[in-house]
Amino acid sequence: MRWVHEAPSSGHPGTRRSAQLVSQWFWWPSLGSDVEDFVRQCATCAQARTSRQRPEGLLEPLPVPRRPWSYLSVDFLMDLPDSGGFTAIMVVVDRFSKGCKLVPLKGLPTAMQTADAMFAHVFRNFGLPEDIVSDRGPQFTSRVWRALCTRLDIGVSLTSSHHPQSNGQAERLNQEIGRFLRSYCSREQQRWSEFLP
Q: Say yes or no to pLDDT of 139 above 90.
A: yes
Tell me the pLDDT band of 89, cut-offs 50, 70 and 90. very high
Q: What confidence score (pLDDT) does residue 45 get?
A: 78
Give mean pLDDT, residues 124-153: 94
**Is 172 in a helix, a strand, or coil?**
helix
Q: What confidence score (pLDDT) does residue 184 get?
A: 66
Q: What confidence score (pLDDT) does residue 59 get?
A: 64
Non-local (6+) Cβ contacts of 139 within 8 A are: 108, 109, 110, 111, 113, 114, 145
Give mean pLDDT, residues 37-43: 88
| Length of the chain counted residue by residue | 197
133 forms beta bridges with 73, 157
Give mean pLDDT, residues 33-45: 88
Torsion of CA 66, 135, 84, 179, to 10 degrees: -80
Q: What confidence score (pLDDT) does residue 170 get?
A: 72
Q: 142-180 as b/e, with b when 16 or more CB fall inside 10 Å? A: beebeebbeeeebeebebeeeeeebbebbbebbeebeeb
Range with lowest mean pLDDT among 133-137, 161-165, 180-184, 190-194: 161-165
Number of other residues whose CB lies within 10 A of the CB of residue 40: 10
Give mean pLDDT, residues 62-78: 89
pLDDT top residue among 13 and 149: 149
Tell me the pLDDT band of 51, cut-offs 50, 70 and 90. low
**Is 74 in a helix, a strand, or coil?**
strand
Which of 123, 119, 130, 126 lies closest to 153 in space, CA to CA?
130
* Triad 195, 133, 61: Cα angle to 5°: 120
Give mean pLDDT, residues 57-69: 79
Please give the mean pLDDT across all residues of the chain: 85
Q: What confidence score (pLDDT) does residue 5 get?
A: 80
Beta strands in 9-87 (DSSP E): 71-77
Q: Say yes or no to pLDDT of 107 above 60.
A: yes
Give mean pLDDT, residues 58-62: 68
Q: What confidence score (pLDDT) does residue 188 get?
A: 76
Q: What confidence score (pLDDT) does residue 185 get?
A: 72
d(CA 40, CA 84): 64
